[in-house]
Amino acid sequence: MPSLYDRYPFLMNYFSSENVSKISHCILFFGSDATVQYELALEVARLLNCKEGGAQNCECLNCRWLRENKHPAVRTVSRVDYKPADDKTKTVISVRQTQEIKKDLMVTSDYHRVIIFCDRDDDGNIQGINYRVFQEEAANSLLKTFEEPPSNTTFIFLTKDKTDMISTIVSRSQCFFVPAQSEETRDISLVSGVMQGYMSRDKNEVWDLKDELLNIIKENGFTPTINQVENYLNSLLKSNYDNAQLRQKLLNDLKATALAKKQDLLGIQTAGVIENLAFALFEV
Ligand SMILES: [Zn+2]
């Protein structure tokens, strides 16, 4: 299986070792694939804990612990995980569990604590949490902690949809859509090099972008190239779902891509079509 970095380049770029210390202390992953969300959560925990730069193959103690999911400061909380012995509830993350979390957080830690909230099905597979398993009373008892956590503490919530979560948690979290594997495997290999960072390129590079795209088209054809540009923009859109400004920009760029396809069908010369597209992509 390809690494998370190959499967989710946009997300992993966001959580890269340079950025990871700046991320919010409440993170919410949503989407249909809870297993991948869990894998991402552990990788974020690894990047937060590695003190040697967070390379993918790092062999430091923190990274090894995280790979085996037995890091002492990284906890999974579900209706079956992290249950105090005297807690007999089986269907919910209980208030008793939240008290235990708060008690744990009072002790200072040398590590970066990451607490992952999720659910499990009867076979023990990771699932997203929802209202039924993480009910208002338990969630509310942690709200203050989510708002002002002790230092070196990050909470990660896994859920299918933001509407499955109590809104007070959603509003305190930085939310990321995690596309299911099949949605993400759309190929972008031809254009990723050219498209990467296109929004931050200098204005006068618009002609370079045009030429670069035309070169790819010369070798691979118009439709495969433009489809990959579309895939690229869609992936970017999905991983920046919550940034209203970026979302609008990406929607405009997707419109420009659709227009390019239409112009091609109408028989308009490829150089002209791509020139229009390049100018649209460079528009702020
Ligand atoms: Zn490491």
Position 179 scores a pLDDT of 79
DSSP assignment letter at 84: -
Contacts of residue 23, Cβ cutoff 8 Å, sequence gap at least 6: 14, 15, 44, 154, 174
Give me ligand 1 centre to Cα 277, in Å.
Answer: 43
Position 216 scores a pLDDT of 95
Give me ligand 1 centre to Cα 155, in Å.
Answer: 20
Contacts of residue 53, Cβ cutoff 8 Å, sequence gap at least 6: 17
Cα distance between residue 266 and residue 282, in whole Å:
24
Rg, C-alpha atoms of the chain: 22
Domain ranges, ordered by start, for the chain:
4-184, 192-282
Position 240 scores a pLDDT of 84
Per-residue pLDDT of the chain (284 residues; tens, 9 = 90+): 678 888 888 788 888 888 887 889 999 999 889 999 999 999 999 999 999 999 999 999 999 999 999 999 999 999 999 999 999 999 999 999 999 999 999 999 999 999 999 999 988 999 999 999 999 999 999 999 999 999 999 999 999 988 899 999 999 999 898 877 655 457 888 999 999 999 989 988 999 999 999 999 999 889 889 989 998 998 888 888 788 899 899 999 999 999 999 999 888 999 999 999 999 999 98
Give me ligand 1 centre to Cα 194, in Å.
Answer: 31
Look-up of token digits 């991983």 = 239
Q: Quick one: CA torsion of 212, 214, 219, 220, rounded to 10 degrees?
A: 100
DSSP assignment letter at 80: S
Cα distance between residue 129 and residue 173, in whole Å:
15
Give me ligand 1 centre to Cα 42, in Å.
Answer: 13
Give me ligand 1 centre to Cα 64, in Å.
Answer: 7
Which contiguous run of DSSP H or E holds residue 15?
A: none
Contacts of residue 90, Cβ cutoff 8 Å, sequence gap at least 6: 79, 80
Look-up of token digits 């409440």 = 26
> Edge to edge, what strands does the sheet with 174-177 contain?
74-77, 113-117, 153-159, 26-30, 174-177
At residue 201, the 3 state secondary structure works out as coil
At residue 175, the 3 state secondary structure works out as strand
Q: Which CATH number fits domain 4-184: 3.40.50.2300, 3.40.50.1820, 3.40.50.300, 1.10.260.30?
A: 3.40.50.300
Give me ligand 1 centre to Cα 46, in Å.
Answer: 7
Alpha-carbon distances of 223 from 61, 119, 226, rounded to whole Å: 48, 43, 5
Contacts of residue 113, Cβ cutoff 8 Å, sequence gap at least 6: 73, 74, 75, 105, 150, 152, 153, 154
Contacts of residue 278, Cβ cutoff 8 Å, sequence gap at least 6: 206, 207, 209, 210, 213
Position 182 scores a pLDDT of 59
Give me ligand 1 centre to Cα 43, in Å.
Answer: 11
- Strand 26-30 versus strand 113-117 pairing type: unpaired
